[in-house]
Amino acid sequence: MNRPASLHHGARRHDAALVCAAAMIALAVAMGVGRFAFTPLFPLMVRDGLLDAQSGALLAGSNYLGYLVGAMLASRLQLRPAPLMAFGLVATVAVTAGVGLAASSMAWAILRFIAGVLSAWTLVATSAWGLGWLASLGRPNLAGAVFAGVGLGIAAAGVFCLLVPGVEASSLAMWVELGALAALAIVVPLLVSRRLPAPVPMPAASSPRHAAPAPAPGAGGLIACYALFGFGYILPATYLPALARQVVDDPHVFGWAWPLFGAAAALSTVLVSALLRHANRSAVWAACHLVMAVGVLLPIAWPALAGVIASALLVGGTFMVITMVGMQEARSRVADNPTAVLGRMTAGFAFGQLMGPVVSAAIGHLTPDHDLALDLALAASAAGLLASACYLWRHERHPSTKEHP
C-alpha cells in the first residue's frame, strides 16, 4: 500500500532536483554571463585597445539602463514564466556572442543594453518559475541552490577570463566563446522548463504566517527596501577593485577577486537556506542589510587591503542572500501574480543601482577631492541600507503590519 506514495515522493524529489538544477543554470547564464561578464572582460578589451575608461563606462551604463527598462517591462509582459525564461536565455546567448562579432563601441553599447533587458526578464521569470515549483513541491528551503546560480555564473565567467588570456586570446573571440559555452549550458533549463512548464498554485491557507499574501502597500515597502539595496550594493561592487588596486600591484590578485566574489555569493545563499530554514525572512533580510552597511563603511574606516577584502566578503556574501529572501518574500505576498511583483522588485533594484553612480557623480561636483566624494557616496549608501534594515525589522516585530491568511 505504501509503494505508490513512495513512488510519488520519489518523483517529487526528482522534480525538485531538476527545478533546482535548471533554475541555477538559468541564473548563472542570465546574470553571471549576460549581466556580469563585462566586469572581467573589460580589462582585456582595454588591453586589446578596443575600449578606454570612458567607453567602458558607456557600456556599463547602458547595461544598467537596460536592466532597469527590462525590469519595468517585466511586470507588463503577458508571457508565463517558463516561456519568458526560455526566450531570455536563448536571446542572452545571441547578444553575448554578438559583442564578439560587432566592431564598434555603439554596437557594443546597444548589445549590452539588450543584455540588461534580457537579464532582468530572465531573473524575474526564473525566480517566479523556480520558486513556484519549489513551493508546489514542498521544498522552498532549496531556494538557496537556485540563487547560488548567480554566484556560480560570476565565478565561472571570472575563471574563464582568468585562464584563457594566458594564450593571448582576443577579447572579442572570448565573447563568442563565452556565448558558445552559455549555449551548451542552457540546454538543461530549456528541456526542464518544457517538461515542467507551470507549478500548481499552493492554497494561501497552507502558507506560513510570515509568507501570507499581503496587500499592495506592504509590497511597496518591500520594493523600496529592495531599491535601497541596489543603491547600497552598486558603489562598493564598482569601486572595491579600484581600491584594492591602490594597495596591491600584483595583477593575479585582481584576477582572482571576481571569481572569489562569485564563490562567496554562491556559498552564502546555500548556507543561509540550510542554517536559517525556519527564520523569519524579514529578519534575515534586515540582518543582511546591516552586514552590508558595515561592509560599505569598511573602506572608509579601514583603508587597507585587509579592510577592502573584508568589505568584499561582507558585501559579496550578502547581496545574493538579499536577492533570494527578497524574491521569496515578495512572491509569497502576491502569489496570484508573482511575475508582476517580482518585476517591480527588480525595477526598484535597477533604479537604485542606476542612482548609485549618479549620486556619486553629483557629490563629486561639490568637492574636488575624489576620495572624499567616494567616501560621502559610500556613507549615503550605508545610510540607505540602515534605514531599510530598520523598516524590515519593525515590519517583522509588529504582526499588525502583516496580512493574515
Judge contact between 57 and 181, C-beta under 8 A: no
Q: Distance between CA 195 and CA 25 in Å, rounded?
A: 16
| pLDDT tens-digit series, residues 262-303 | 888 899 998 888 877 778 888 999 999 999 999 999 988 888
185 and 265 belong to one structural domain: no
Question: What single-letter DSSP state applies at residue 50?
Answer: S
Its domain, for residue 248, covers: 209-399
174 and 321 belong to one structural domain: no
Q: Distance between CA 56 and CA 59 in Å, rounded?
A: 5
For the chain, give me the number of helices (H) and strands (E)?
Answer: 14, 0
Judge contact between 143 and 324, C-beta under 8 A: yes
Name the packing angle between helices 81-101 and 105-136 (round to 10°): 150
Spell out the residues 6+ positions from residue 138 whose beta carbon is closer than 8 angstroms to its own: 12
Q: Domain end: 170, 200, 230, which one?
A: 200
Query: Is residue 349, in this structure, part of any structural domain at all?
Result: yes
Q: Considering the entire predicted model, what is its pTM?
A: 0.81
Judge contact between 273 and 145, C-beta under 8 A: yes
Question: What single-letter DSSP state applies at residue 277?
Answer: T
Q: Domain end: 148, 176, 200, which one?
A: 200
Cell numbers describing residue 67: 536592466
195 and 253 belong to one structural domain: no
Number of Cβ within 10 Å of residue 380's Cβ equals 18
SS3 content of the chain, % helix, strand, coil (to 5): 85, 0, 15
Query: Is residue 3, in this structure, part of any structural domain at all?
Result: no
Length of the chain: 405
The number of folded domains in the chain is: 2
The CATH code of the domain that includes 147 is: 1.20.1250.20
Mean pLDDT of 341-368: 85
373 and 301 belong to one structural domain: yes
263 and 320 belong to one structural domain: yes
175 and 274 belong to one structural domain: no
Q: Distance between CA 264 and CA 257 in Å, rounded?
A: 11
Q: How far is the CA of 190 from the CAs of 183, 285, 367, 368, in angstroms?
A: 11, 31, 51, 52
140 and 57 belong to one structural domain: yes
368 and 229 belong to one structural domain: yes
251 and 395 belong to one structural domain: yes
How confident is the model at residue 405, as a pLDDT? 29
| pLDDT tens-digit series, residues 17-75 | 999 999 999 999 999 999 888 888 888 888 889 988 778 878 888 998 999 999 888 87
| pLDDT tens-digit series, residues 173-214 | 999 999 999 999 999 999 999 999 887 654 443 334 444 444
Q: Domain end: 182, 200, 218, which one?
A: 200
